[in-house]
Amino acid sequence: MNEKTAGELITGSRVAAISVIVERGGDVEALNRLLHDYRDYIVGRMGIPYRQRGISIISIVIDAPQNDIATLTGKIGNMPGITVKTAYSAVQS
């Protein structure tokens, strides 16, 4: 993972929106540790608990090289009880 400073753009980076659904029994602590590892790339994050359904929805905006985004989403997708989908912007640097 390439380190960047606040406000710095990385050449070859992509902007993406990652949607994560955490079902009952999903390992939220492991997910938060993983997102912490990618904190330098995360532009913003919003979590919504949907108590009536027993799930949580997390939306993450990320600006990172496409390989790093794919690696992150692959790791998230391998976590039990967690589903992930990614939408990429056409904007590239």
DSSP string, 22-84: E-TT--HHHHHHHHHHTTTTEEEEEEEEETTTTEEEEEEEEEEEHHHHHHHHHHHHTSTTEEE
CA 3 to chain centre: 16
Cβ neighbours around 25 below 10 Å, total: 10
How far apart (Å, rounded) are the C-alpha atoms in residues 80 and 15? 26
Confidence category of residue 16, pLDDT binned at 50, 70, 90: very high
What pLDDT score was predicted for residue 90?
86
What pLDDT score was predicted for residue 6?
46
With a pLDDT cut of 70, the percent of the chain lying above it is 86
CATH code for the domain defined by 22-92: 3.30.70.1150
Residues 42-59 pLDDT 10s: 999 999 999 999 999 999
Confidence category of residue 40, pLDDT binned at 50, 70, 90: very high
How far apart (Å, rounded) are the C-alpha atoms in residues 70 and 75? 9
Give the chain's largest Cα–Cα span: 43
What pLDDT score was predicted for residue 9?
60
What ranges do the domains of the chain cover? Answer: 22-92
pLDDT of residue 38 exceeding 80, the answer is yes
Residues 5-14 pLDDT 10s: 545 666 679 9
